[in-house]
Chain A
Amino acid sequence: MSTSSSRLALVAVTIALVVLPLVSSGFVISFLMTRILILAIAAASIVFLFRYGGMISLAQFLLFGLAGFMVGNAVGEAGSKGLKLGWDAWVGVIFALGICVIVALVLGALASRTSGIYFLMLTLTYAIIGYYFFGQVTTLSGFGGITGIRPPPLFQGHPWRLYYVALGLSLAVYLGFKSIARSPFGLALQGTRDDPVRMESLGFNVPLHRTLAFVIAGFVAACAGILNIWWNGQIDPTSISIGPTLNLLIIAVIGGISYFEGAWLGAAVFVTANIYLRNIPLLDQIGVTEARFNTVIGFLVLLIMVLSPEGIMGIIDRFRYRKQGVEPPVPPVAKVGVG
């Protein structure tokens, strides 16, 4: 697909999403669309790290949750758990983003000297330690979590408001990540993905580039996390435990982990399946009920990994190239991890 037609598709999708609230119910906007957009932004940060840096990070959901906990501690008032600082909502946003960037810097610096499968394992370890941290440290949260958090007055009230915030942020993140690819930093980062040794000998500081990429991705995940706590009003450690952490990676994998569009597509499939699986007739007669959602999602991921590791976007791409009679380019997933 040429650049102009993909631009056209982007504009069309954006317009469709902008006018969507006019034709659909409040439930769809709030519980389906807003949720999709929030998770997609967080998943896009996984795609960013993988596509440009060759790193699969499972720590994105930790930073997503960390931002929520920080907002909760900062703006919470009497009645809720945590520090109950009672700050203004916008001060809470700046505070949460600041903490997340610092934490991402430390975690990224530690992880930046590892790569490939080691990076995956290390970030998974971060995620689980983060879960236990917020569970055990009762001054910040405890297993009960923080409740009763409200967004700034500007976004309160009608569910449309938060939806449009999520939509605007989605667009900014999508375009921002795309434009990083052409920046000097983005080009160097892609160099460290393809050949770290050569980049090192050319004088690039490879761990620094990886760390900075991790900080950028952490910042984006934190933005999504702030939207999430405004949307949800509460957060507890179970919501950042290993299951939800893996779900975010699953979202990226379903859509196609090296396509930014895949993050939004994967989130749409995941959330829609989560809500509407029970409505599909006959499924419960073969033992697939709402409670077995994870089995269904697990099989879906298994199917994708066995048939097309590039996810839905990879399948779309393959059809597109076949129509044009061109060999599709080798996707990064196939390159990383072979050998």
Chain B
Amino acid sequence: MRVVSAAGSRAVRAPKSRRELRRRLLNGLGVVALLFLVSWVLFFSRGTPAGPAITEPGKFFVTLLDGLTVAGLFFVVASGFTLIFGLMRTVNMAHGSLFLMAAYIGIKLQQTMVDKTRNIEPADVSMAAWLVPLFAGALIAAVIGIVIQQVLLRWNEGQELRQALITLAVSVILADQMLAWFGGLATRMIWPGAVSHFFEIFGRRFATSRLFMLGVAVVVGVALWLWLERTRIGMIIRAGVDDRDMVRALGINILAVFAITFFVGAFLAGLGGVMGASFAGAAPGADGQWLLNSLVVVIVGGLGSLKGAVAGSLFFGLVVAFSPAYLPERFTFYSIILTFVLLAIVLAVRPYGLFGRPA
């Protein structure tokens, strides 16, 4: 801080410190970059797979909806990850494995329910034959999650690195066992017939099933928010995120709260798994990919914050949808780099994510 003399009254309005100057510079750069991106998508993106939004509104809206639906799925999976971390400081490296486990179980159960193992048509699938596997898969993932927590994580609370490596070992074992039990071929859940059609938006077709998935994600998000904001247990969890020891000192059985939180976090991974299996199928390697997706969401949004999970999912989902559509055709393959650019920008400005704070 510079001491401002009475004579130099003009200096009062000048930036007071380097930090202030840096903040203004970054804000300015951010505005310029945003304007560039918006005008690029609206007017100048000729020669890209999608084309300028002004002349091709259909492709723009389809891309936007794609981004939002993917963001919805990202949110369901990553909110479980961030919930567990927020309260227990456990980075659950087996989160992707729980996702894939629920996906496989959902697929198997659906095949049993429609009594067919291949060539299942959406017409064969009633709403129940999708919802029952959804909850069954999620429930089994949640049970596996709580077993992991009770057996392997309960007694070494606070040792972040050790817990991360323990869940890492669990994920290696689960991935190998799933390969043995469910095979190496990609399989998928079938959407219920009721939502398996298309509707038109500015002359472009869009799958209703994706909107249905977005709807499920919004319902999950709202339920989670109500649970955390309006119930007693949610209140305890929020208090525990801020100060675990104080909650414990108030006579609350925090170990039970930990168990419940891990159960819910793994349940969310499972819900996401069955939804993801309907959206993109399930195959070995999906566990690592969904661990990555959760990591990107929480690194962008900030660990342990539900708001951060929403923001991170939206940013990541939109980047994933827009970058292949609006990069010049020769560079479409490079769209993965834009995910990295998003990470880099957020980290450079806020090392602990948009809504995060140092642990």
Stretch of A7-15, A119-127, A157-165, A180-188 lying at the B interface: A119-127
With an 8 Å Cβ cutoff, the count of chain A residues facing the other chain is 47
- Give B324's nearest chain A residue, CB to CB: A136
B109 is an interface residue with CB less than 8 A from chain A:
no
Stretch of B30-38, B220-228, B333-341 lying at the A interface: B333-341
Stretch of A75-83, A222-230, A239-247 lying at the B interface: A239-247
**Cβ–Cβ < 8 Å partners of B123 in chain A:** none
> Most chain-B Cβ atoms within 10 A of its Cβ — which of A124, A137, A253?
A124
Stretch of B72-80, B111-119, B157-165, B261-269 lying at the A interface: B157-165
Are the C-beta atoms of A129 and B340 separated by less than 8 Å?
yes
> Quick one: which of A256-308 are within 8 Å of B by CB?
291-295, 297-299, 301-302, 305-306
B194 is an interface residue with CB less than 8 A from chain A:
no
Chain B nearest CB, measured from A205 CB (Å): 15
- Give A334's nearest chain B residue, CB to CB: B159
With an 8 Å Cβ cutoff, the count of chain B residues facing the other chain is 46
> Quick one: which of B127-165 are within 8 Å of A by CB?
152, 158-165
Main secondary structure of the interface of B (DSSP, over half): helix
- Given A110-B348, A301-B169, A302-B173, decide whether A125 and B159 contact each other with a Cβ distance below 8 A: no
Main secondary structure of the interface of A (DSSP, over half): helix
- Given A125-B295, A337-B160, decide whether A297 and B351 contact each other with a Cβ distance below 8 A: no
Are the C-beta atoms of B176 and A120 separated by less than 8 Å?
no
- Given A136-B333, A137-B334, A298-B176, decide whether A121 and B170 contact each other with a Cβ distance below 8 A: no
Are the C-beta atoms of B177 and A117 separated by less than 8 Å?
no
- Give A129's nearest chain B residue, CB to CB: B340
- Give B155's nearest chain A residue, CB to CB: A306
A198 is an interface residue with CB less than 8 A from chain B:
no
Are the C-beta atoms of A249 and B168 separated by less than 8 Å?
yes
Q: Name B288's contact: one of A128, A295, A305, A333 (CB within 8 Å).
A: A128
Chain B nearest CB, measured from A241 CB (Å): 7
Are the C-beta atoms of A305 and B160 separated by less than 8 Å?
no
Are the C-beta atoms of A306 and B165 separated by less than 8 Å?
no
Are the C-beta atoms of B339 and A338 separated by less than 8 Å?
no
Chain A nearest CB, measured from B21 CB (Å): 19
A242 to B89 alpha-carbon distance, docked (Å): 23
- Given A56-B161, A129-B340, A132-B336, decide whether A117 and B91 contact each other with a Cβ distance below 8 A: yes
Beyond the given pairs A116-B161, A129-B292, 19 more chain A to chain B contacts, judged by CB atoms under 8 angstroms and listed by A's residue number, are A110-B343, A110-B348, A111-B347, A118-B351, A118-B352, A121-B295, A122-B299, A124-B295, A125-B296, A241-B285, A242-B285, A253-B165, A292-B180, A295-B172, A295-B177, A302-B173, A305-B165, A305-B166, A338-B158
| Residues of B that sit less than 8 Å from A by CB | 89, 91, 152, 158-166, 168-173, 175-177, 180, 285, 288-289, 291-292, 295-296, 298-299, 303, 333-337, 339-340, 343-344, 347-348, 351-352, 359
